[in-house]
Amino acid sequence: MLMAFSGFMMLATIMYFLFKGRTIPVVVFITVPVLAAFLAGFSVTEVVSFVEFGIKKTSKMAVLFIFSVTFFGIMSDAGMFDGLVNKLVTKAGTNVVAIAIATAIIGIISHLDGATVTTVLVTVPAMLPVYKKLNIRPHLLLLIVGCGMGVMNLLPWGGPVARAALVLGIDPTTLWHTMIPIQIMGIFATVALAIVMAIREKKFHNAGRVDLVVNEVSGDVELKEHDEAALKLKRYNRTWINLSITAALLVILLLGIFPTYFTFMLGVCAALIVNYPNVDEQKRRMRAHAPVALDVASVMLAAGIMVGILGKSGMLEAMTVPLLQIIPSSIAHFLYVIMGVIAFPLGTMLGTDSYFYGLLPLAIKVGENYGITGLTMTIAMLIGKNLALLISPLVPATYLGIGLTHIELRDHIRYSFFGLWAVGLIMFAFAWMIGMF
């Protein structure tokens, strides 16, 4: 009982401080879990082992964030994305809705490989300059990418589907075949969300109002450039070389030739050598992106402490039991509906492994006592959890996204939470309507 109480208090305190902005995430993720572990009765030696376990799990990801943020920052300095930005702005003009739809399509297609970090690295750096030039808040970019990612993560090689299939004891492809109609509805819902939120941005936040000029030579629509220092960093004559480096990097990522973090280490080296061969300029470029890179990595390492304490102490398992016991027997027959509705907020608070290997088996076991099949419970709980991918404080890609866009975690959650939850509920309702349950 004390373990469960400590766990709930820990999560509630963390969420409170994150939403209220009383302190930075690093302080919250380090101090609160450690205090909760001591409150639960663990010794210093045990707490240290939990911390080491969590740090070990997140250290490579922290290195990845440092070098991926630096790589795309250098490429942005060199102007690699400027050509794409100009063409998109030329085609869409100040049409915020068109940009939002394009973002949804790019996010959906880029997540075909099922890798969350890769999807963020492909979509956000490429689209962020467009959003800045059209005065669209980057919160919308993360919301749309997160939604498309969540929908496409229902593919059989997506982590959640594979974990859920393992719990059920069936092939992931079999589970995916059952969920294809839901996934198709999710794609339409993602585009609809992008349109609705883009209209809202345009109406209430002046998105799309920007100073544009037409280049007399190329005919391209461009933004008036006022930053002379930024212009000096541009390397337009090396754009194709930079694009080739980036393409090669993404191919290596997809093929898994090297560890992801090492791939970006090599990418940073190539970007510096090609664009800024002068040693002093290389140092300036590294220093320019160090604050963001360090901020993202430090939060990731701090979150590792929370992950380690939750996962290694058994605290999470203790928390799931009272969650299921408080459900009255009169409504237990509709447990899959309850779990389907709250799957998104639960998925936001719980890590993927904890959700599918801890909560899902317990929910299935309880549901079977009331005639609810394991497949029904799994589908209900999969939908919302997938939509929580890019909003959960326990998902590494979340920190990469907010690091690249310079958004505070609490602001990202506030902006995206209800939109993503709405899409999850639409998909769940559609599954119910077509008799999937």
Tens digit of each residue's pLDDT (9 = 90 or more) over 1-52: 788 888 888 878 887 787 676 777 788 889 999 999 998 889 999 999 999 9
CB of 383 closer than 8 Å to CB of 431: yes
> What is the spatial distance between Cα 26 and Cα 392, in angstroms, rounded to a whole number?
15
Residue 30 in any domain: the answer is no
Interacting residues of 275 by C-beta distance below 8 A, sequence separation 6+: 74, 77, 78, 235, 238, 242
Report yes or no on 408 lying in a domain.
no
List CB contacts of 317: < 8 A, sequence separation 6 or more.
Answer: 358
Each residue's pLDDT expressed in tens, for the chain with a length of 437 residues:
788 888 888 878 887 787 676 777 788 889 999 999 998 889 999 999 999 998 887 788 788 778 887 888 888 788 887 776 667 666 766 788 988 998 898 888 877 756 677 678 778 887 888 888 888 999 999 999 999 999 988 887 767 887 888 788 887 878 888 899 999 999 999 999 999 999 999 888 777 665 444 444 444 444 444 457 777 888 888 889 998 998 898 788 767 788 878 988 999 999 999 999 999 999 999 998 888 778 778 877 888 888 788 878 888 777 767 766 776 777 778 889 989 999 999 888 877 766 886 678 778 877 887 788 989 999 999 999 999 989 888 777 888 899 889 898 889 999 999 999 999 999 999 999 998 88
Query: What is the C-alpha to C-alpha distance for residues 397 and 393, in angstroms, rounded to an integer?
Result: 9
The answer to whether position 167 is within a domain reads: yes
Does residue 268 fall inside a structural domain?
yes
Mean confidence (pLDDT) of the chain: 83
Q: What is the CA radius of gyration of the chain?
A: 23
Q: How many CA atoms lie within 13 A of 355 on its CB side?
A: 32
- Give the domain extent around 175: 61-298
| Residue 132 located in a structural domain | yes
**Angle, CA 15 vertex, CA 23 and CA 159 arms, to 5°:** 120
How many domains, the chain? 1
Domain assignment present for 436: no
d(CA 426, CA 383): 10
Q: In this predicted structure, what is the pLDDT of residue 208?
A: 66
Model confidence, pTM: 0.69
Query: Quick check: is 178 in a domain?
Result: yes
Instruction: Give tens-digit pLDDT for 397-421.
Output: 888 899 889 898 889 999 999 999 9
279 within domain boundaries: yes
Q: What stretch of H or E contains 207? A: none
Measured in whole angstroms, how far is the alpha carbon of residue 50 from the centre of its chain? 25
Strand, helix or coil at 431?
helix
**pLDDT at site 142:** 95
The predicted pLDDT at position 215 comes to 46
DSSP classification of residue 333: G
